[in-house]
Amino acid sequence: MLLHIPNVLDRAQVTRMRAALDGAAWTDGRETVGPQGAQVKRNRQLPETSPLRAELGREVLKALSRHPLFHAAVLPQRVLPPRFNRYEDGGHYGSHVDGAVMALPDGGQLRSDVSCTLFLSEPEDYDGGELIINDLYGEHEVKLPAGDAIVYPASSLHRVEPVTRGARTAAFLWAQSLVRDDGQRQLLLELDSSIQRLTQGGADADALLQLTGVYHNLLRRWSET
Q: List, in sequence order, every beta strand (DSSP E) within 120-189.
A: 126-128, 131-135, 138-142, 149-153, 158-160, 163-177
Does the annotation flag 92 for ligand binding? no
Q: What is the 3-state secondary structure (H, E, C) of 65-123?
A: HHCHHHHHHHCEEEECCCEEEEEECCCEEEEECCCCEEECCCCCEEECCEEEEEECCCH
Q: Of 28, 29, 18, 22, whose CA–CA distance to 121 is shortest?
A: 18
- Residue ranges of alpha helices (H) inside the chain are 11-22, 35-38, 51-66, 68-74, 182-200, 205-222
Known binding residue 71? Answer is no
Contact 112, 174 (CB under 8 A): yes
**Is 44 known as a binding-site position?**
no
What residues does 133 pair with on adjacent strands? 140, 158
Residue 216 annotated in ligand binding:
no
Q: Which residues are annotated as a binding site for Fe cation?
A: 96, 98, 158
Q: Which residues are annotated as a binding site for 2-oxoglutarate?
A: 168
Q: Which residues are annotated as a binding site?
A: 96, 98, 158, 168
